Structure formats: C-alpha cells, structure tokens
Amino acid sequence: MLGLLEKINLKETLTRPIVFRAGRNNAIAIAHNNKAMKLAAEGQYEEALAKFQLALLGQPHYARAYYNMALTYFSLERYEEAIDCFEKAIEFDPRFVEALNDLGVTYANLQQGREAIKYYHRALRIKPNYYDALLNLGAMYYQLGDFRNSIKAMKKALAINDKEKLAYYYLALIHAEWRDRETALKHTATLEQLDAGMADELRHEVLRRVY
C-alpha cells in the first residue's frame, strides 16, 4: 500500500471483453491466463508468470494477460517488469483504464509522483468518474504538496461516494496544514461517523498541526 493509496489487487480474469476473435489458440491462451490467475491468487507467483508467458505465446496481443502479469510482478515488488507489462497492456488496449491507473500506482511506489499523476490523468480522460484514479490522484497531489489539486480530486471522489474515508482524511490534513482548524475538525467529525478509530488518530494529527 502506497501510504493511503489504493492497493493493486489481482482482478477477475474476464471482467473485460477479449478483443481478439475466438479460435483454438485463443481458447488455449485464455485457459493459460485463467490458470495463471489461480496460481497468483494462491501466492505461486513464479508458476503464474510461466503460465502468463504461455498465454502470450499463443496470443501475443492479449492485453488482459499482460495486465495480470504486471499485477503479479507488482506483488513480487519487481516494479520495472510490472511497468513493462502494464505498458504492453496499454499498447494493445489504449483505453484500458485499470492498467493506466495501476501503472500510476507502480510509479508512485517508485517515488516518481509526477509520472504517476500523468497516468492517473490519462485514465481520467477516458473515464472521468474513475473512482480509484481520483483517489490516487488526490493522494499523490497531497504527497507532492499540491493541496489545491488534491482537494479538487478528493471532492470529485466524494461526489461519487460521499462516504469515502480517505477523502475526508486528506481534506482534514490539508486544512490543518492551512491552520484552518474549524474546517479540519469538521472533516474529522464526518470521518468519525464512518470510522471512529481512524478519526481519533486523525484528530490528534490535526490538533498537532493547527497549534
């Protein structure tokens, strides 16, 4: 987990349509991908990578297999290899917003915040209400000290889900940085209704910053 950024989780295999035509080789590639996903979910990452390679041998433009392979490399903290696979997934499916977002998360994990922001924005140009990308964008802007853009992203996320704990958390911290005690505590109080433990921790930090 990158601070309070969303985790990358292994996604279900066939949540997106397969973009190539049906055929024996394609069916075999899908079977290898499905098996690889099962192995990855069981923590057998090296075995999963071998199966993904088999899937790609049969179907070299299989964006979903590249994406799932990238997630597996990410789980192994092999971030450069994850980046290569995310980029391949995007090459073969340029509107693959999950790959764009998760590529951003990978760059964030490498402390390359500006590069991460670039990919969050690319995902949001395709899908403006993409919730995960909005949260990740807001969190990264916060980490870079760009509080106004962080607020903008978090408010967009709250327009989609007004019970998002992370958004209230960051909004409270930002207003505390600005010594706006009243607004910071207002966001903390809202968070308390959603997660009392998280709000209690936040309140201590807010009070530390405003005094």
pLDDT in tens, 134-151: 999 999 999 999 999 999
Domain extent listing, the chain: 1-161, 162-211
Backbone angles phi, psi at 19, to 5 degrees: -90, 0
Mean pLDDT of the chain: 89
CATH second-level architecture of 1-161?
A: Alpha Horseshoe (1.25)
Grade residue 211 by pLDDT with cuts at 50, 70 and 90. Answer: confident
pLDDT at 5 over 90: no
Closest listed residue to residue 183, CA positions, set 199, 171, 169, 200: 171
Question: Which pLDDT belongs to residue 96?
Answer: 96
pTM beyond 0.75: yes
Question: Which pLDDT belongs to residue 24?
Answer: 53
Question: Rounded to whole angstroms, how far apart are CA atoms 137 and 101?
Answer: 9
Question: Which pLDDT belongs to residue 129?
Answer: 96
